Structure 1
Amino acid sequence: MVFSVIAFAVMNAVVKYLSAFNVYQIVFFRSIGTLVFTLPLILKSKIPVLGTNKKLLLARAIVGVISLTCFFQSLNYLPVGTSVSLRYTSPIFAAILAFFLLKEKIKTIQWFLFLLAFIGVLMIKGFGADVNTIGLLFVLTSAVFQGLVFVLIRKIGSKEHPLVIINYFMATAFVFGGLMSINHWTNPTPSEWVLLLSLGVLGYIGQLYMTKAFQTNETNVVAPLKNLEVIFAIIIGALWFGEIYNLLTLLGVFLILFGLVYNIYIKRKKIKN
């Protein structure tokens, strides 16, 4: 999961740099770059392209595309900091959904730790003065569906190869992003082509390791680790965009790390007992 969040943090930085492009075009390039990796690997390994549980695979793909699209749409109405902060409620939604759908037990202290980590995220990213209602609905919808993605991957488990799961998601995003970007296409420069295509490479790495993480452990252990992406984003923001972070931000980082580490300790202790 750590490898996953590093890849996604770098990918998000590239998306921020390419903010002049329409969101559908970003989704399209995000998918096509990953498909270049997944399809040849699936064919080479002679893995069934369609998998075994087609309904769950397709559901995970559709839910993932909805989440991704809603998140990008929210950026049209809200500041980036607000959108990113609110989307990081997805581990909380994942834990709640896993509690009802997968019957995964959650201790009271874990709920408190989830809340603590989320408060840390809010302290780092902060909220804008005005929160647009439409944008708020978009980003919260994205967070809920992102939480459902975590649960569906856990539900699929090790029955499907990670490449098949990723391929379903990217193929769906490719079709959707391609169709929607027809009327919103912007011709990239040579350097922008490289950056746009790199989104797929970084996304592939992030998606592969995230899928492996959820296939090998409980949702409420793995999902909160997604918050580490905020910390890596801070480092990249400081080095790449020259962003400056204050003591409040550092306190938020501490709360996230404390919430995540202690939650993992509780779960590991429970497993040993």
Structure 2
Amino acid sequence: MKLLSSDTRLGILYMLIASFLFALTMVFAKLLSGSMGSVEVTFWRNAIGLAVIGVFVLRKPIRNIGGKPITLIFRGVIGTIALLTFFYTISATSLSNAIVYAKTEPIFTALLAFLLLGEKLKSHALLAVIVGFAGVAMLSGLKMGYLHIMGILTGFLSALAYTSVRSLKAYYDERTVVLSFMVSGVVIPLVLMMIAEYTTSELFAFALNPFVMPRGNDWVWIALMGIAAAYGQIYMTRAYFYAKAGIVSTVSYSVVLFATFFGIMLGDVLPTPMVVTGGILIIVSGILLSRQK
């Protein structure tokens, strides 16, 4: 029996910590959704995270080669929209459903890599994609309402953002990529909240919420959410540094277990057998695709 190297074990541990912190981020976002919209939750998540990451940047200045500013901006904008749809699904459904929808990202990443980057889609990978979409159909209950569209959009937009990151690695420090995302995640929600003061839209309900002044425990949840998200990002980055991407991506599915456990603690209704089956198919699909990295 081949034992894992110390670096690989450390990478797995870091990813488990990151998954736990990301699940906590969802918990605090869920608690905040009772008093503010998903746009404002996105704003506070990134505002606190920006301050935390900023401290790390001051300690160790960023050095970039540069050369792809449009792609960098694109990653920040798409990542922010993905976060808006993600927090919307958190507010509208159980934590387990929201995170499973988000975990469709590897399925769309495989398709985008095939369509945009010219990477080969092998037969077993194609089968995994088909299994994943079957899981999406079951998770949505064979319906396509607004909530389900937002959930699927979360996975698709996350995949688009991830695909763009792959083309930025050779040009920018990873902290620059994270900062571009967080800066966009502060500026875009601010603009959207200002627009929401003058107009509403059922179609863009996930993106148009007026600003609500946080009160009482809201400030505690905001601080904890931002800190958990920032450190989750840090530990996830460390995990990919120590272990292979396929291993880390597989371990990242532990966030589904953490989110489900926390959701039950918050009073989420237990999922139906059909929803559970759909979630399992999506996870299996994602793991199979992740193992090809």
> TM > 0.5 between the two?
yes
* TM-aligned CA distance change 1:146 to 1:70, over 3 Å: same
The unaligned stretches of length 5 or more in structure 1 are: 269-273
Amino acid at match of 1:96: L
> Which of 74, 93, 106 in structure 2 is aligned with 1:59?
74
* TM-aligned CA distance change 1:254 to 1:264, over 3 Å: same
Mapping 1:135-214, distance limit 5 Å: 135-157=147-169, 159-182=171-194, 183=197, 184-210=210-236
1:127 paired with 2:140, answer yes
Instruction: Work out the CA distance in 1 between the residues paired with 2:61 and 2:142.
Output: 53
Amino acid at match of 1:190: G
Instruction: Work out the CA distance in 1 between the residues paired with 2:144 and 2:132.
Output: 22
Q: Name the Cα RMSD after superposition.
A: 3.8
Moved more, 10-19 or 212-221: 212-221
* TM-aligned CA distance change 1:211 to 1:51, over 3 Å: farther
User: What is aligned with 1:6?
Assistant: 20
Amino acid at match of 1:127: S
Secondary structure, in 3 states, of the residue corresponding to 1:185?
A: coil
The unaligned stretches of length 5 or more in structure 2 are: 1-14, 198-209
1:39 paired with 2:38, answer no
* Superposed displacement of residue 207, structure 1: 3.0
State the percentage of identical aligned residues: 23
Q: If the length of structure 2 is used for normalisation, what is the TM-score?
A: 0.71
**Structure with the bigger percentage of helix:** 1
Instruction: Work out the CA distance in 2 between the residues paired with 1:197 and 1:220.
Output: 32
Instruction: Work out the CA distance in 1 between the residues paired with 2:62 and 2:125.
Output: 38
Moved more, 253-262 or 50-59: 253-262
Amino acid at match of 1:232: F
* Superposed displacement of residue 226, structure 1: 5.1
* TM-aligned CA distance change 1:57 to 1:213, over 3 Å: farther
Moved more, 42-51 or 161-170: 42-51
Q: Are the equivalent residues in 2 in contact too, given 1:8–1:206 (CA < 8 A)? A: yes
Instruction: Work out the CA distance in 2 between the residues paired with 1:141 and 1:242.
Output: 22
Mapping 1:61-100, distance limit 5 Å: 61-73=76-88, 79-80=93-94, 85-100=100-115
Q: If the length of structure 1 is used for normalisation, what is the TM-score?
A: 0.75
Q: Are the equivalent residues in 2 in contact too, given 1:92–1:114 (CA < 8 A)? A: yes
Amino acid at match of 1:99: F
User: What is aligned with 2:205?
Assistant: none
* TM-aligned CA distance change 1:97 to 1:249, over 3 Å: closer
Instruction: Work out the CA distance in 2 between the residues paired with 1:202 and 1:147.
Output: 22
Instruction: Work out the CA distance in 2 between the residues paired with 1:252 and 1:167.
Output: 34
* TM-aligned CA distance change 1:110 to 1:131, over 3 Å: closer
Secondary structure, in 3 states, of the residue corresponding to 1:157?
A: coil
* Superposed displacement of residue 225, structure 1: 5.8
